Structure 1
């Protein structure tokens, strides 16, 4: 009887896979998604809208929102296999690809996924340093006038952010990050709303809506095409969170079924982010027209009230502290699982130690986690210092990530999961959808590469 009772207690505290009970809810899931989606990308949307113009800009934002939801919808059904309700759990994107598509696809997916996650970390270092510098410049302009030089470098701020992330990276995993995601999501709402409000105020001050149907004019057709393609890449970076859908879904409790909660959370989060994206992108363009800065809150189209600019940039910094971890934790988990399997008897890899500080709960750490995560943060910081180009880096990462990880793999896994035959109506529709998104990726990649090379050479 004692043995049976202890087994029941253990079962009550564990899920069907033997892991501790997952406690994530619809709202914690929405917070994770918003933290992942509303990040560095929102700040480039006014510039992207300016390149595309008043029709193509808003339409592109809406199209990417729909594409992102379709991708999340397809992926959420791949969390369990072979059945999406009662099947075996796939804890990560790569697990789902391996189960549904096989080993070759898994290697290709893994390379793209972790490259994209790593690149996002680099982009967040650049963006955070830009916002830190903007706070200093804003105060300088307020004291000395808008024509003052007020030039400051990025390197110090990148190093400072790297030091903060070395500490934050010791958070064990996603399951210990709910509080961080909630704080980061609140920060993203705050600075998005400030950007929106400043744009509205500027439009009222101007007394008219700036901009045109065709967007910012260029000296020749080739330059216009490069900037248009780069704008598509920037929008592609701003939306998709497909590479961490399953990691987020793995935090959800059940019942109800995890895929149902994930679909509801995706719908809510994408609706909220699209509203803010349209407000920031459209009102930013309406406020500045052809002079729209590449980064809405750090490009100094707005100078006053300087304290509000400072607050917005401080919120960006706080948000990206959490956002960096959201995108880094899957890399940390993969690397640590690999080392654990490769070196099962290594104390360096497997021995954990507890640190107890006054008034704080005990904190577990090990040498592998400390060394690998520290080296990872240092490497992203160094690369950001070498390529500190905001719009170009975002566009390049968005283009690389968009089709293969957001469209191709989810569509292919959905075919396998739902046993959809070739040349059926659903197969033709999804194949056409995938090909159209592939063309967008190619265009965005071409434009962003051209912009990055031009910026480096200039």
Structure 2
């Protein structure tokens, strides 16, 4: 049974991931005013709508639990909206696993590059492909994905949260050290209120991509209901979840502002897309290596936290469709030979389900292949943020709250005509503004991806 602290750890693991590494670049595109303001705005919207969503875990009249995000949507908005939500949620969760795989592989390459530059000098040509490391990441995730009852491994989420704090703190500390050295704000590291200077349309596209990156950094609604389902029933789950969301969003926002602002102050308008891995810091090399090791450990856990709802949904669908199939339902016990344990009696072993083995392996493999095809950090994150933030973080929570509260029925004008109340108008305005922002961010991300693909040769293991 989970508590406010385990729920906070799960949320922080989901939030403080790939997104924190791109914030210096994002603020560089938007400038000192719009950058932090945009980040605060997204965090505030996320926290507000997460409170609305947490009230949808139990049906307001029957008290029936909704164990997943899709069940909550079905309970309040109907079957069609449940299907729409399911499609968007799966796209977002699968896309997030791709983003985590890309980021982890970049960090692995950064460790090798850091050692190369330390030995041969910062002017040396140390270029390595991420593909070999993506394959290694995929193999590791296939193994971890076979663990049954993954939801009981709260320690993995806590470990991942600790790793995220550690590497974010290292990045922040290095940025603060560079700012304190007095070399910032001059020449190549100059910054401005309006951000990077570029021609008209290029500036707009960059700003849209930065907005998408920030939206992705603040997203976790897709797994909120699943996390809430791990909480004990007393005190009330929605109250505990609201506290957990408050803790997690507050902590992550402070980290984001510090990392983004100090990163921009340290690098100025030349801020790299990935502060710890893309031409950012080089020394002390051992500390850079430690930070990137922490990133890899964190993202192995975050990958699984994000992928588990997809696994479970697929397996539940297969169980309902083929309930009598041994391939789908039967568990095979694997006993390890006693020789492995020096002749002593072996443990009881573990169970393997054919569907779990084949299905999860296929899903992880697909994510790995896509990551190898489009390993573009900032643009992929921006596209994920654009696609997922508005429907999952804003639209569905707002519409479920309206249905739950019956806002339209509460207000009527003269002549018996119903007049929408002010809070309904405000919620729909929030919906509309976030939709427009999401469309703009998606356009910026697609434009960036198209430009990057022109010069990229996929599936090459040498550079």
TM-score tier (shorter): over 0.9
TM-score w.r.t. the length of structure 1 is: 0.93
1:59 aligns with 2:37: yes
Contact 1:236 1:402 (C-alpha < 8 Å) held by counterparts: yes
Gap change, CA 1:428 and 1:360, over 3 Å in 2: farther
Q: Where do residues 218-367 of structure 1 align in structure 2 (5 Å cutoff)?
A: 218=198, 220-357=199-336, 362-367=349-354
Q: Could you tell me which residue of structure 1 aligns to residue 392 of structure 2?
A: 405
Match in the other structure for 2:196: 216
Do the aligned partners of 1:174 and 1:251 also contact (CA within 8 Å) in 2? no
Partner SS, residue 351 of structure 2: strand
Runs of 4+ deviating beyond 3 Å: 206-210, 355-362
SS of 1:89 mapped into structure 2: coil
Is this contact kept in 1: 2:382–2:442, CA < 8 A? yes
Query: Partners of 2:39 and 2:441 in 1: how far apart?
Result: 14
How far the C-alpha of 1:360 sits from its partner, in A, is: 5.7
Could you tell me which residue of structure 2 aligns to residue 36 of structure 1? 14
User: Could you say what secondary structure the match of 1:88 adopts?
Assistant: coil
State the alpha-carbon separation in 2 of the partners of residues 142 and 406 from structure 1: 43
* Shift, 1:414, TM fit: 0.8
8 Å contact kept, 1:173–1:329:
no
Structure 1 segment 51-450 matched on structure 2, within 5 A: 51-83=29-61, 87-209=63-185, 210-218=190-198, 220-357=199-336, 362-421=349-408, 423-450=420-447
Q: How far apart, in 2, do the equivalents of 1:238 and 1:174 lie?
A: 24
TM-score by length of 2: 0.92
Per-residue CA shift, 1:46-89, capped at 9, x if unaligned?
Answer: 10000000000111111111011012111100101134xx7111
Identify unmatched segments of 5+ residues in structure 2.
Answer: 410-419, 456-463
Cα drift, residue 413 of structure 1? 0.6
Q: How many equivalent pairs are there? A: 433
Residue 103 of structure 1, CA deviation: 1.2
> Please, what is the CA RMSD of the aligned residues?
1.3
Report the more deviating stretch, 108-117 or 421-430. Answer: 421-430
How far the C-alpha of 1:171 sits from its partner, in A, is: 2.3
Contact 1:97 1:105 in 2 (8 A): yes
With over 3 angstroms needed to count, the CA separation of the structure-2 counterparts of 1:99 and 1:361, relative to structure 1, is farther
- Specify whether residues 173 and 70 from structure 1 end up closer, same or farther in structure 2 by C-alpha distance, changes over 3 A only: farther
Name 2:415's counterpart in structure 1: none
Deviations 1:208-252 (A, max 9, x none): 44410010111x100000000000000001111000000000000
Shift of 1:361: 6.5
Q: CA deviation at 1:300?
A: 2.3
Q: Does 1:47 align with 2:47?
A: no
Structure 2 distance, partners of 1:362, 1:250, is 29
Q: Any idea what the Cα deviations from partners look like across 1:331-371, whole Å, max 9, x if unmatched?
A: 00100000101011000101112335567664332110010
